[in-house]
Amino acid sequence: MPHKFDVGQNVYFRPAGRGLQAASGAYRIVQRVPAVGSDLQYRIKSVRESHERMAMESQLTRAAGFNEA
């Protein structure tokens, strides 16, 4: 199954579950990661956080764009 998003592409992230300390909003795809079960994974980075996160493809939607300045 091919990944839906490309490295460098802007996406919106929706954290799954309650109590997750992840900021929802605009992120950039940093790396494609192999699937866990049937859901592909990605490393993503937000301009509001200093670290990268792992996200499942089902938690991401395409974004028009945002500035990383």
* Annotated domain spans of the chain: 10-62
pTM equals 0.80
Q: Report the side by side order of strands in the sheet with 52-56.
A: 52-56, 39-45, 25-36, 10-13, 60-62
pLDDT at 23: 75
Q: Is 57 helix (H, G, I), strand (E, B) or coil?
A: helix
Residue 49 has pLDDT above 70, yes or no: yes
Strands (E) located in 14-59: 25-36, 39-45, 52-56
Q: How far apart are CA 43 and CA 55, in angstroms?
A: 6
The model's confidence at residue 69, banded by pLDDT at 50, 70 and 90, is: very low
